[in-house]
Amino acid sequence: MELLRSWDTDAALSHLVALAVAYVLALPIGWNREREERSAGLRTFPLVAMAACGFVIIAIRVLGPDSQQHSRILEGLMTGIGFVGGGAILKQGDRAKGTATAASLWATGAIGAAVGYGQLDIAVILTVVTVLTLVLLTPLHRAVQERSAEDRDQV
């Protein structure tokens, strides 16, 4: 019963909007990773952004908006998302695969945290830069990889 009495409809709607924005901003990143058939994709990225946003919203509600403890929340988020990203990295011979997916997961966590703290401009910039990096630099990455393979074959 106490839980129902503490319900704040305005706050709930505000939180719902923030969580939805974090989710939507992560979708193009997840779509890219899914299309590239990476270990994390369309489901993982929005969930990471939404969870990071949720943890920040909880911290603000519990600790207050001006608490010095927010740095600890961000530190925990960075570490936890780094751990998730580490699971996306696979070692194949002398090479590591999945580092772009891991870095994208980390960026997605920052997107969610930015939304949670009300820094929509930062969240949008992070989203645009991440998507552009994944889309525009992929052909260059592939060209470098092909060139490296040719050089190894010639040895």
Instruction: Give CA separation, 92 vs 88, 89, 96, 124, 141, in Å.
Output: 13, 10, 6, 34, 17
pLDDT at 40: 82
CA distance 89 to 129: 21
Q: Is the pLDDT of residue 59 over 60?
A: yes
pLDDT band at 148 (very low <50, low <70, confident <90, very high): low
Indicate the range of 18-22, 25-29, 83-87, 142-146 predicted with least confidence. Answer: 142-146
Average pLDDT over every residue of 20-31 = 97
Q: Is the pLDDT of residue 152 over 70?
A: no
- Domain residue spans of the chain: 2-130
Residue 57 has a CB neighbour count (10 Å cut-off) of 21
Query: Cα-flanking dihedrals φ and ψ of residue 96, to 5°?
Result: -110, 135
Give the helix/strand (H/E) hosting 95. Answer: strand 95-97
98-131 residue pLDDT tens: 888 899 999 999 999 999 999 999 999 999 999 9
Average pLDDT over every residue of 130-143 = 86
If DSSP codes are grouped into helix, strand and coil, which group holds residue 92? strand
61-82 residue pLDDT tens: 999 999 999 999 999 999 999 8
Which residues make Cβ contacts (< 8 Å) with residue 106, sequence separation at least 6? 78, 81, 82, 85
CA distance 100 to 81: 14
Are 21 and 120 in contact by the 8 Å Cβ rule? The answer is yes
